[in-house]
Amino acid sequence: MAFVTIRRAAEGDLQQLRLLWDASNKEITFTPYPGHPFDPSLITEHTALVAEESGRVVGTVYMNTSSIDFGYVFGLYVVPEARRRGIARRLMREIARLLADDGRSYIVLSVDTPNDRAHAFYSRLGFEDAARTLRAGVGQLLDTV
**pLDDT tens-digit readout, 75-117:** 999 999 999 999 999 999 999 999 999 999 999 999 888 889 9
Q: Is there a contact between 49 and 85 (Cβ–Cβ < 8 Å)?
A: no
- Strands across the sheet containing 56-64: 4-8, 47-53, 56-64, 70-78, 106-109
Q: Is there a contact between 58 and 91 (Cβ–Cβ < 8 Å)?
A: no
Q: How far apart are CA 17 and CA 61, in angstroms?
A: 10
Q: In which band, very low, low, confident or very high, does the pLDDT at 145 lie, cut at 50, 70 and 90?
A: low
**Residue 91: CATH number of its domain:** 3.40.630.30
Give the count of domains, the chain. 1
Q: Is residue 12 over pLDDT 70?
A: yes
Pairing of strands 106-109, 70-78: parallel
Which residue range forms the structural domain that includes residue 132? 4-144
